[in-house]
Structure 1
Amino acid sequence: MRMLEAHHPTCSCGAASPLAAWARIEAPQPKAPEPIRRSSAVPTGPAEILITGRIHTLNPAQPLAEAIGVRDGRIIAVGSRAELEGVISASTTLVDAGDGTIYPGLIEPHMHYWGSALTLDWVDCSTRDGAGIDDIVAKLTAAEPVIEDWVLGQLFDPSLLPGEPDLTRAILDAAVPDRPVLVMNASMHFLYVNTVALTRAGIDDDTPDPVGGFYGRHDGHLTGVVGELAAMESLLAALPQPTTEYLVNNLVRINRNALAAGYTRTQDATTGGVLGAAEVGLFHQADFTGRVGYAILDTVADEILSNGLTPFAGDDLCRATAWKFVADGSNQGRTGYQRENYLGRDFRGSPNYDTASLTERMRRAHSLGWPIMVHANGDGEIDQALAAYRAVLDGSSGLQLRHRIEHCSFTHPEQLDQMAELGVSPSFLMNHIYFWGDAFVENIMGPDKTALLDPFASARARGLRVSMHSDYTVTDFLPFREIQTAVTRRTRGSGQVINAAERVSASEALRAKTIDAAWQTHSDDVAGTIEVGKFADLVHLDVDPLAVASDAIAQTSVLQTFVAGKEVYTR
């Protein structure tokens, strides 16, 4: 595969989503939502709902309970069943959770609604779980078209396969000879198409490469590999257009999928990256059941702010929560910005901003009171992000606005020291270790660099509050796999341990999906623990993930999910 050091950011954490070339939807930009006004008063009167079961509150002052009283969606009492007799009435609905364990609802602090909504029905061509080329071809051959007669696939990642093979035109022609096929690489820097798709787009052997992109060729003939946004646009523009209704319906489907995984609160990490400012209005129109926060993307932030959006505007179900900077690319796609070259390559990735520009833009966000999220995968980019934070904060602490570094993947001890000094916290894509750990060791970084990946224990030792995220759809909603990976640090393939010194306990890992994720997303006043005054957002699990063997945590299943005390998912 041809790799370019100059690159466009990936969609999943990207400033220039290639999917925007497909979703050319004209959507209205309604007036921005008003700043949230949330009462801190505990509702009075008897409980409308009483939930009973084996309850772990994560509140150190009252770690265990048997019953939760709920009124107006808030917790009004927590304690033993006998203690809560006084808050129930003849009209109270009794919910017996039975077996299993109840915990606070989980929080997903970094995922992607919009790109995921566009590709929700595309064929899963990922190689994360050991699928090879033959498996992917079989899926595509059996697939129903997504829109009109187009067969569409996503998440193909050759870095996890021996020799890093491409899905060539010849392979795709053999799989589906009579309909157009388009498969997106997991990095979103490449796509793969068959002959019918090339013909639909008007591309042939004589078509010149556009500036900044390429059409893969062998002996002068197109291979079906298309690289970088400038070339990908012509293929994506040939796709039939999705509708606004299709996208909004898919947002709701994704939200329900998150509820099924135990998440009662999710945060979109690149709002505006596909449809621009219109995404804000569409978020607030969506019929969500789980709570949603969104981080506005820096490249469209000025357009979004022109409508009057302010930090935390919205309501208890959907609100603005952060300002996002995508400062480099993907490590597994070799576009993250490193201090040194990738293993066996003569490049180290590149930043998406120069330091002066990044600092200027971050200073604007900070001055307007926005929490900042900086996507920084490579250690070189973490250096740049920290330099920008230091200049912006100018002696003050990032703790007030709870500024973050996203992914913060290959992090050196001195960088963690700086984060602690500046008051900037990390959010780790912990399943990097599980899915890509072997590839990082063997092909991309080497063992010494890979040992720096997601240094959870070192971050906690410095007093940093840590969250973990899926980066959905970079990885699926797998919260208990994230927790198990933080505890064991074992890879999926070989089972090798990536730096055992960075292991943490299951309780520390669970904090990263509850208490500390709530803090990072400015929702700790209403989420993260089960206590009086907070929302009755809960997850009922078949087992206690803190009581099972470390290699069994990932098998934890969600039996029920509650939002505002109401059951919104049941297995």
Structure 2
Amino acid sequence: MNPSLIVVADTVHTLDPAQPLAQAVAVTDGTITAVGGRADVAGWRGRDTEVVDLGAATLTPGLVDGHVHPVMGLNLTAGVDLTAVRSVADLVAVLRTVDVARGGWVQGWGLDPNAFEGRPLTHAPLVEALGPDVPAYLVLFDAHSALASPRALEIAGVEGPRPFRSGAQVVAADGVPTGHLLEMEAMDLVSAHLPAEDPARRRRRFLQLLRDMAATGLTAANAMDFEGDSADLVGAVADEHGLPLRLRFAPFVMPVHGRGYLDHVVDLQRLGGPRWSVDGAKFMIDGTIDGGTAWLEEADTHGESTAPFWPDPAEYTEAVGFLAAHDVPTVTHAIGDAGIRHVLRTVAALPRAPRVPHRVEHVETLPDDLVGQFARLDVTASMQPTHCTHYTRADHSDNWSRRLGKARADRGFRTRDLRDAGARLALGSDWPIAPYDPRATIADARLRRTAGRPGEEPVLPGQALTARMALEGYTTEAARAAGLAAVAGTVRPGARADLSAFTLDPLTADPDEFAQSPVPLTVVDGTVVHRA
């Protein structure tokens, strides 16, 4: 054996039941070739072997984000960061600091609807801050809605409500648009007029994003997009620099797409390159609870969220069946109880077991009778703990909880119930909806509150995961969710050499402290992609 790399650490959590603990890992040609103790290193080492001794650090299998939007996120994070805005007054103050070029657009992202304190979302604060003649487009935190200024609506030719094939809506009062745009078809009316980004700058931003992700310990991500310039962008960055982490893409399938597009999605599954591939298709059966576009079995407290994103859910079922018959794994955004139920019924009716398990994303409010269905049907629950901890409150005073009412809010984000019922639970961030740092997400999954805020009351603390469950959500469960358990998710001979190192031990450290743990090393495919 002549390994190219040996990584040594006081603690290696292999997550391999046959050898749960180790202190040294040898890597050859991107594959783990030996796992053992410090005493084994001298016998493994070859003339050209690089040995990295991390001392008291902890090494784990490489962390995998279950749900991100790395390409769409470049568009969604354009302009001013509004994630710290907590009131309408804050929003006006932030927008007034923007240097507006003559005729230029003002863009922003991450706006929390709770800033409006229960009042209707309108473009009034944009007009107050910028005046009536500035085109402005602000994406709300869920990326399923936006606010457009009167000038932006004028440029887009939006003068009133419009019919859409999906559940999208141009919100209007007495026939006049308020600036609030719900769901993608409505948002696209305005976003299509935004200035295009310079391609070279876009490639730089994409590469930097991936490098920043690797610096948090991420080695791979499930990318829920493959639209627009995705293929050219990813291919160009991979060819020029190499991707700092693995990306597994699932292109969107929307109600407006016909059979020809489904054939195209099947063809896309052949695409890939070094550290990236297309493997799946992304659906949405509903929208969001915050926007009133989720699909609930009973209306929310505003009388909304009663319709699916697909006007005819049978068409969704038919599309999933077509792709499943072509061995394309499906991933479905389903937030409301009616939406989740329909997806599970769709999967239950499929005639054969898939190559890669089908997935339900988000799973925000889940009735008791559906908890056990995930394990029974072998469906992955892909969830984002920071959606709960960042955007809901223990006293149910937030917009999400008020819309649902106490009974449905009390069955929100049931991560522990799903794990205890035997479900496969993959964890992720949904970046840019929430930060991508897995350390904080792992901590929040255990705390049920925001890491670093010990005074914050936990949201439904009975749903907290153990430290091991949280780590598994980014490792072994993520590998099983992708159909890669034979080659990923554990540290053992024959597995991919994807490794994450932390100064603190994720299984024994205080969660608040682990959220800030330094990351001394990240290895992807046997190559060091981040070194502190």
Q: TM-score, normalised to structure 2's length?
A: 0.86
> Is 1:481 paired with 2:440?
yes
| Aligned residue in 1 for 2:95 | 140
AA at the equivalent of 2:314:
A
Which of these residues, 509, 531, 544, is aligned with residue 492 of structure 2? 531
Cα deviations by residue, 1:89-131 (Å, 9 ceiling, x for unpaired): 232222222342221211012111222122344211125xx63
Letter in 2 for 1:325: F
Query: How far has the Cα of 1:364 moved from its partner?
Result: 0.8
Shift of the 440–532 alpha-carbon distance from structure 1 to 2, 3 Å rule, reads farther
Contact 1:173 1:194 in 2 (8 A): no
Letter in 1 for 2:336: G
CA distance in 2, matches of 1:241, 1:340: 41
Q: Check conservation: 1:269, 1:296, Cα contact below 8 A.
A: yes
Q: Tell me how far apart the structure 1 counterparts of residues 264 and 186 of structure 2 sit (CA, whole Å).
A: 32
Partner of 2:290: 332
Report whether the alignment pairs 1:496 with 2:457. Answer: yes
Q: Distance in 2 between matches of 1:70 and 1:181?
A: 51
Distance 1:228 1:109 in 2: 22
- With over 3 angstroms needed to count, the CA separation of the structure-2 counterparts of 1:196 and 1:562, relative to structure 1, is same
Could you give the per-residue CA deviations for residues 330-372 of structure 1, whole angstroms, max 9, x where no partner exists? 1222211011111x22123321233321221111111111122
Shift of 1:58: 1.8
Structure 2 counterpart of 1:48: 4
Q: Which amino acid in 1 is paired with 2:491?
A: I
Alpha-carbon displacement from aligned partner over 1:17-46 (angstroms, at most 9, x marks no partner): xxxxxxxxxxxxxxxxxxxxxxxxxxxx40
Q: Does the CA-based 8 Å contact 1:152-1:181 persist in structure 2?
A: yes
Match of 2:251 in 1: 296
**CA distance 1:151–1:197, change in 2 (3 Å):** same
* Residues 115-168 of structure 1: CA deviation (Å, up to 9, x unaligned): 2122344211125xx633344444433346699832210121213552346463
Q: Do structure 1's residue 507 and structure 2's residue 446 form an aligned pair?
A: no
Distance 1:332 1:222, change over 3 A: closer
The one of 421, 427, 437 equivalent to 2:376 is 421
Question: Displacement, 1:194?
Answer: 4.5
Distance 1:168 1:70 in 2: 56
Superposed, 1:431-470 pairs within 5 Å as: 431-438=386-393, 439=398, 442-470=401-429
Does the Cα contact within 8 Å between 1:261 and 1:479 map onto a contact in 2? yes
Task: Determine if contact 2:64/2:220 at 8 Å carries over to the other structure.
Answer: yes
How much is the aligned-residue C-alpha RMSD, in angstroms? Answer: 3.1
Contact 1:411 1:452 in 2 (8 A): yes
- 1:264 paired residue among 219, 232, 235: 219
Consecutive unaligned residues in structure 1, runs of 5 or more: 1-44
Whole-Å separation in 1 of the counterparts to 2:206 and 2:146: 24
TM-superposed deviation, 1:557: 3.5
Residue in 2 that maps onto 1:386 = 344
Partner of 1:90: 47
Range with bigger deviation, 412-421 or 357-366? 412-421
Q: What letter matches 2:20 in structure 1?
A: P
Matches within 5 A, 1:74-113: 74-113=31-70
2:107 to 141, 152, 172: 152
Residues 503 and 201 from structure 1, CA distance in 2 versus in 1: closer, same or farther, beyond 3 angstroms? closer
Q: In the alignment, does 2:327 pair up with 1:369? A: yes
Paired residues of 1:172 and 1:181 also in contact (CA < 8 A): no
Question: Does the 8 A contact of 1:158 with 1:165 survive in 2?
Answer: no
Deviations 1:470-494 (A, max 9, x none): 1111111032232223222236898
Matches within 5 A, 1:110-189: 110-127=67-84, 131-143=86-98, 149-159=104-114, 161-164=116-119, 166=121, 168-175=123-130, 180-189=135-144
2: distance between equivalents of 1:146 and 1:312? 44
Structure 1 residues 511 and 229: alpha-carbon distance in aligned structure 2, compared to 1, 3 A threshold = closer
Label 1:178 to 1:329 Cα distance change in 2 as closer, same or farther (>3 A). closer
SS of the counterpart of 1:392? coil
CA displacement at 1:50 relative to structure 2: 1.8
Instruction: State the partner residue of 1:279.
Output: 230
Change (3 A) 1:83 1:471: same
Residues 178-230 of structure 1: per-residue CA shift (max 9 Å, x gap): 85432122344543344664665577xxx455445547569x98765556666
* Cα distance, 1:53 vs structure 2: 1.6
Cα distance change on mapping 1:68 and 1:214 into 2, 3 Å:
closer
In 2, Cα distance between equivalents of 1:356 and 1:200:
36
Query: Per the alignment, in what secondary structure is the counterpart of residue 523 of structure 1?
Result: coil
1:181-330 equivalences under 5 Å are 181-194=136-149, 197=152, 207-211=159-163, 213-214=169-170, 224-225=179-180, 232-272=187-227, 275=228, 279-280=230-231, 282-287=233-238, 288-299=243-254, 302-303=260-261, 305-306=263-264, 309=267, 311=269, 314-315=272-273, 317-330=275-288
8 Å CA contact 1:291, 1:318 repeated in 2? yes
Q: TM-score, normalised by structure 1?
A: 0.81
* 1:254 counterpart SS class: helix
- In percent, how many aligned pairs have the same letter? 27
Distance 1:250 1:446, change over 3 A: same
Q: Contact (CA 8 Å) 1:431, 1:482: kept in 2 or not? A: yes
Cα distance, 1:384 vs. partner? 0.8
* Partner SS state of residue 431, structure 2: coil
Cα distance in 1 between the residues matched to 2:476 and 2:136: 44
Tell me the residue number matched to 2:521. 560
CA distance in structure 2 between the aligned counterparts of 1:403 and 1:308, rounded to whole angstroms: 16
Hey, what's the Cα distance between the residues in 2 that align with 1:314 and 1:236? 28
- Tell me the amino acid that sits aligned with residue 186 of structure 1: F
1:543 corresponds, among 504, 520, 527, to 504
CA–CA distance in structure 2, aligned partners of residues 176 and 560 of structure 1: 49
- The answer for unaligned runs of 5 or more in structure 2 is none
**Displacement after TM superposition at 1:511 (Å):** 0.2
One of 422, 431, 452 as aligned partner of 1:472: 431
- Residue 79 of structure 2 aligns with an amino acid whose one-letter code is W
